[in-house]
Structure 1
Amino acid sequence: MIRPLEYCQNGDQIAQSIDTIDYRILELIALRKAYVDKATHFESVPPEADARDQVEKMLKLRYNWAAQLTLDKETVHTVFQTIINHFKNKELELLHEQ
């Protein structure tokens, strides 16, 4: 359970809320992975093709969202660049195995 911050009365309650948030983040990453996997069925070009423009466009949108949520751009960049690189590398591994 995520206890609202104003109702957290000790460190254990905060830690339990953080654990719940982290689990939900992992659920969302797993869901994102499923969508990335599905998207590969619709790609007309191999993943090795230069997709920098697409990634930059995607990151720019995430930066805008981050600003709305008062998150710093560097954190958002690190998180999404890591996610993008990880799934791209996994996709390349699968293609090379086939």
Structure 2
Amino acid sequence: MNKDKVESLEQARAQIDTIDEALIELIAARQFYVDQAVRFKRTVQDVQSPERVDEVIKKVRSAAEAKGTDPDLVEQIYREMIQHFIRRELKEIRP
């Protein structure tokens, strides 16, 4: 993403709004693929998969650090999102 200096609060807010729209689109895409992945999971352990959660958290923390973004914030956001998707998946595999 191109990061240009802005000349006003309105310009900054417009850029933030554009980023928010892109983030929502990406979250929706992630949800789509999580919904696809649940078809291949058979048990609660398959869904909760703490090893996979740890792998994702490690990867996003590293990516955040590389971009100069607070890795604790990124981890918190991802943990919340992952837990939401786990709850969603559990509804699919439980009778």
What is the TM-score with the length of structure 1 in the denominator? 0.83
Q: What residue number does 2:4 align with?
A: 5
Mark the runs of 5 or more structure 1 residues left unpaired by the alignment.
Answer: none
Does structure 1 residue 82 correspond to structure 2 residue 80?
yes
Identity of aligned residues (%): 28
What value does the CA root-mean-square deviation take over the aligned residues?
Answer: 1.9
Structure 1 ranges of 4+ moved more than 6 A = none
The one-letter amino acid of 1:31's match is A
The one-letter amino acid of 1:29's match is I
CA separation of 1:40 and 1:94: change in aligned 2, threshold 3 A: closer
Mark the runs of 5 or more structure 2 residues left unpaired by the alignment.
Answer: none
- SS of the residue corresponding to residue 21 of structure 1 reads helix
Q: How many residues align?
A: 93
Greater relative contact order (Cα < 8 A, sep 6+): 2
User: In terms of mean alpha carbon deviation, does 22-31 or 56-65 score higher?
Assistant: 56-65
